[in-house]
Amino acid sequence: MFSSMKKRVDETINTNDIETVIGQNTSIRGDVNGSGNIRVDGRIEGGISIDGNVVVGEHGVVQGDIKARNLIISGKVTGNADIEASLCIYATGQLIGDIQVSSFKVEDGGVFKGHSEMSPKISDAAADIS
């Protein structure tokens, strides 16, 4: 099952670009901030604010708000998500909270409970017309 998850993650995020991994046996209490990409296979009790991408693996748990470019969830997230580009919730994933995102996908079996606001990017040319 991990190999199929890895293939799907690779379609959105190059896993070689993940700079930080929170391992399955690691628990963090507090906010996590940074500019790179992060994968959570452990537990974070606090917010995540990353300029890059966040991947929550099948065993990953995040209890806090997430702000990132892209978010892929195969584990459990309880908190609001403010995502610049795309949010994907895979079959084993769960997000309980409100989201603001440009693109949103929930695979069969994935769980989303909350309110969503989708605001696609407006190109510079279209913005000049307004």
Please give the C-alpha separations between residue 97 and each of 10, 19, 33, 74, 78, in angstroms, as whole numbers. Answer: 26, 26, 20, 15, 6
Does residue 25 carry a pLDDT above 90? yes
The pLDDT of residue 8 is: 52
- Residue-wise pLDDT for 29-54, tens only, equals 999 999 999 999 999 999 999 999 99
Domain ranges of the chain: 2-129
Q: Which of 40-44, 110-114, 115-119 has the lowest mean pLDDT?
A: 115-119
Please give the C-alpha separations between residue 126 and each of 83, 85, 101, in angstroms, as whole numbers. Answer: 22, 18, 19
- Residue-wise pLDDT for 63-97, tens only, equals 999 999 999 999 999 999 999 999 999 999 999 99
pLDDT above 90 as % of the chain: 75
The pLDDT of residue 16 is: 63
The pLDDT of residue 119 is: 82
User: Model-level pTM greater than 0.85?
Assistant: no
